[in-house]
Amino acid sequence: MRRLSNTFKLYLAAVCIACLWNCTENIDTSSRYVFTEETILSYLEKHEAYSSYVDILRQVNISKISNSKVSQLLSARGVYTVFAPNNEAIQKYLEDLVKEGLINEPSWDAFPSEQKLDSIRQVIAFNSIIDGGDELTAFFETTNFPNDKDEFILGCLNDKKLSVRKPSNQPDSIYINDNCPVSVKERDILTINGIIHQMEKVIAPKDVTAASYIQECLDEQRDGFLTCFRVIQACGLLDTLRAVRDEKYEELYQTGQVGDLIGMVAAGFAEGEIGYAPKHRLYGFTIFAEPDDYWRSQGIDPKDPDLLRKLIQWILDNHQYSDDDHFTTDENYASEDHLLYQWITYHILPMRIPKGKLVFHINEYGYNLNKPNTYSIPVYEFYTTMGKRRLFKLIESGASNGVYINRFPITDNERQGTGEEIGCDPDKVGSLVDTESPLTILNDMVNCCVYPIDAPISYNDATRDNFQKNRIRFDGMSLFPEAMNNDIRLKKASEERYKHVFIPNTQKTYNYFENMQQNDDMLFVYYNAWNDDWCNLHRDEMKAVGRFEVMFKLPPVPRRGTYEVRYKVLANSKRGVAQIYFGSDPNKLPVAGIPLDLTMDCRNDITARLVGWERDTGDDDYDAEVDKKMRNNGYMKGPKSINSADGTERDYNDRENIRHIFVRQTLDPNETYYIKLKSVLDAEKKEFYMDFIEYCAKEIYDNPEKPEDIW
């Protein structure tokens, strides 16, 4: 079907919005305008209030490799959201630069060099524009702004996410990046290629790293997270927290050595036009910290010169470690063997996780995307912490009233149950991640978020035992911090540039995902699948075509013991057959089981009989026997927790949805395990596929009193 032009799309959108405004009684339309004959640029040019801004737009290039100006961008077809500073805002920004000592008077003639002048103009222009691409509704009215403290789905031209603040005591006030007010009167100005919001202050975020922010807090003895920050400094982690982006990848991308994948279908993928390579390879961090008030309640003063020794004693007294841990308690805090180092690194994940991505609510059982804030069954993510590799769980359910760390609830997990949380033992509640507190730091640092927590966390014996007693299902994309840091994973946009992300080949160019290695004979793409109703965990999936050989580093297990390791497949005929290798030596991985047939689904009655698959009958005893027969053959049905929104049977009875049990052996928490999948077919265009992997301890899958649940 022929695509509509962007101009016509915007015209339709304008008409639809106008109709909605006319039909809605409770919305004040007095400050909203629709200019169906104006581009963004022509509107700005006709209003003197934006004359300084227009001058800037005419002088800033779109990119380093283009002589086209931003003004030309805003006069062409497209879908743009423009936060246009008025003349007073720009003059005030120049005055602020005087206070900072950058210039000696608030004038464009006062800059010491043309280079500095160009950079300041670019800051103003690039941070004020969001390019919505081809999406019809990818411009943002104030009514569709993110929730308080959340970020816009799309980044600005500066490749940064702008955030929104909506003070509860000022219902008409909206701030961008915390302190840049949107004009109450001059907002929601709709043109044929986007929307304009007048800004009363220039959006000019400082590129403050976590290291510099923490150092500033330490220098000022700023209350809030002083205890945590003093420990981070003592453990020598500030250098690590200074990392922002991989300059080697930046050079490869800018010089064209990393390019997009053109013609995905021709290459062998089932769908897609272009797989877009990431523009950057950014680093990031998330810190979950007990606030200073908590430490005061424990009798520890954050400003005490003897803080570190007293905190070590508190960790020892409260057994915030595992008996299997080996650690020192001397003054060499920067050693990875030190108790304090091991304790604080369990509070840090090597990825920047914004408020809206702590967990992902998409297609879990009982959830409806049309009611995005009404949650059902528990949704969780397993990550590996910094420092010594340890498991870390984030979880949220309809009953939890927030995201928790290492919460292990009681769920209604019978065959005919709801899957929902029905209780939680006091010792398994976990620690609440406070996303609303004034202490929460979301946008102050370019590479880090900091969340206050309401109870201490550590990888002690109780935590490890709880992990051991619960099935550990981790999404394939959770293995790659780069996916979160570069806004690749589950972006809420279906445009091609976000839907299909090409991950550069390890051998030919660059190992983009540190935890993944791939060979020369494959092309690897992440499918965002935001608007695709696929029966995957979180809908998304990873694919490759060619004579693939791909290896992943896996998370640690919590305890030494016997585990099953399972690989979930949503099968179809386009996929290949892979031999799995599994072990702890990446250079000598032993074969794990028979080859994995990614085409095998139970729609074929012969395959169904081979696997032992039968549709659930509603007779729990009989259905449990079917499950047991499948397990004896090395297979399981897909989990009941994954649902479909299109009304089809995409759940436990989905014939394409099969878990393959490929390992049953003793695993050790001090070992790092790898899984490798290698094509056994002499075929150029067969697909590799990956969704999620499970660890399941023997006391769960072989429990004589309580069989493993189907969720």
- Summarised one tens digit per residue, pLDDT across range 308-330 is 999 999 999 999 999 999 999 99
pLDDT of residue 15: 41
User: From CA 141, how far away is CA 194, in angstroms rounded?
Assistant: 10
Residue ranges of the chain whose pLDDT lies below 70: 1-34, 36, 135-137, 506-509, 644-651
How many CB atoms sit inside 10 A of residue 591's CB? 14
According to DSSP, residue 478 is labeled G
Give the strand pairing for 577-583 and 674-679: antiparallel
pTM listed for this prediction: 0.91
In a domain, 265, yes or no: no
In a domain, 237, yes or no: no
In a domain, 206, yes or no: no
Region for 698 from its dihedrals, namely left if φ exceeds 0, alpha if ψ lies in -120 to 50, beta otherwise: alpha
By the 8 A CB rule, do 200 and 86 touch?
yes
pLDDT of residue 568: 95
User: From CA 628, how far away is CA 169, in angstroms rounded?
Assistant: 58
pLDDT of residue 136: 55
CB within 8 Å of 476: residues ≥ 6 apart: 541, 542, 552, 690, 691, 692, 693
What CATH number is given to the structural domain containing 97? 2.30.180.10
In a domain, 54, yes or no: yes
Give the strand pairing for 549-553 and 674-679: antiparallel
Give the distance from CA 673 to its chain's centroid.
Answer: 24
pLDDT of residue 26: 35
In a domain, 140, yes or no: yes
Q: Which of 151, 169, 199 is the last residue of a domain?
A: 199
In a domain, 103, yes or no: yes
pLDDT of residue 5: 40
What CATH number is given to the structural domain containing 631? 2.60.120
pLDDT of residue 1: 29
pLDDT of residue 353: 97
How many CB atoms sit inside 10 A of residue 340's CB? 23
Q: What angle do CA 483, 484, 487 make, to 5 degrees?
A: 85
In a domain, 683, yes or no: yes
By the 8 A CB rule, do 561 and 667 touch?
yes
By the 8 A CB rule, do 344 and 237 touch?
yes
Which of 291, 340, 287 lies closest to 311, judged by CA?
A: 340
pLDDT of residue 496: 83
Phi, psi of 256 (to 5 degrees): 80, 10
User: From CA 633, how far away is CA 609, in angstroms rounded?
Assistant: 11
Q: What angle do CA 243, 247, 251 make, to 5 degrees?
A: 165
Domain span at residue 36? 6-199
How many CB atoms sit inside 10 A of residue 326's CB? 10
- Split into its structural domains, the chain has a count of 2
Q: Which of 133, 167, 199 is the last residue of a domain?
A: 199
**29-34, long-range: CB within 8 Å, 24+ apart, which pairs?**
31/184, 31/185, 31/186, 31/187, 31/188, 32/187, 32/188, 32/189, 32/190, 33/188, 33/189, 33/190, 34/190
Q: Which of 140, 164, 199 is the last residue of a domain?
A: 199
In a domain, 465, yes or no: no
